[in-house]
Amino acid sequence: MASTLGLRARGAFSNLSRQSTFSVSSRWTLTPCTRQSIRRMATDQNKPPQHNNASRTTGGAIAHTREQVQWKDLTTPQKVVAATKTTTNFAVIGAGLVLVGAIGYAIVSELFGPSSDTAIFGDALDRLQELIGTPMKGHGDPSSSKRRRNRRISSQIVLDGEGKEHLLMRFFVEGPDNEGTAHLEMIKDSRGKWEYKYLFVDIPGGVRPAQRIFVEYNKFAGQPAVEDSK
């Protein structure tokens, strides 16, 4: 009898414990507010950390501050280094400008100076036209090709036994009735100026016989003048 009651009591206690467990677990049912809180926590965990951006911003601010250091805040060695860099930069720029100016002056003097080949060629062509009296053109090559005729005038400078400079030039002239080859020689005098020794044009034979026309001839070219020798 007692054992029977004990079994019943145990069964009853067991049933009560199961019921109480079930009732407790049913009390922890998730409410809508709890679900929303859990979702917010999960969203916050998925967000990337912000400390890297903050550190980058701070580093950029520090670098920017370093660039804006004023001259009065620099130490003496820093001022010396900065002044040396500035002086070096100005020196390089100045040297470049001087070099460009020298090259430009040399080019202009070579092409348009009074002693340039272009100036001497123009003067010789004017003298030929003035003597012959016929409109003519000068070319660097006798070919009928316009490209070859526009070549640079052939000239060279040689030294004689006394060390004087002689300029030799040849070019081709063309007129309405005939054409020819012009030759000239100039000698640089003691003053550094070119002086004609001779200038002539050779006209080839055809209907008329070949001829050589002298425009300039001076056998004393390059020699000191009488007033210079006194």
DSSP conformation class of 30: P
Domain end residue (candidates: 109, 125, 140): 109
Q: How far apart are CA 174 and CA 178, in angstroms?
A: 6
H or E stretch at 216: strand 211-217
- What angle in degrees, to the nearest 10, is found between the helix axes of 117-132 and 76-112? 20
Same domain for 131 and 91: no
Cα separation values, 159 from 5, 106, 194, Å: 148, 22, 14
Domain end residue (candidates: 109, 142, 171): 109
Name the amino acid, one letter, at 155: S
**pLDDT band at residue 167 using 50, 70 and 90 as cut-offs:** very high
Q: How far apart are the first and last CA of the chain?
A: 170
Domain end residue (candidates: 43, 76, 109): 109
Same domain for 130 and 69: no
pLDDT at 72: 72
Same domain for 203 and 141: yes
Number of H helices, E strands in the chain: 7, 6
pTM value is: 0.51
Neighbours of 116 (CB within 10 A): 14
What's the mean pLDDT in 39-66? 52
- Which structural domain range is residue 142 located in? 117-224
Q: What's the number of domains the chain is made of?
A: 2
Q: Is the pLDDT of residue 140 over 70?
A: yes
* pLDDT tens digits, one per residue of 184-226: 999 998 888 899 999 999 988 777 788 899 999 999 888 876 5
Same domain for 121 and 68: no
pLDDT at 228: 55
**pLDDT band at residue 164 using 50, 70 and 90 as cut-offs:** very high
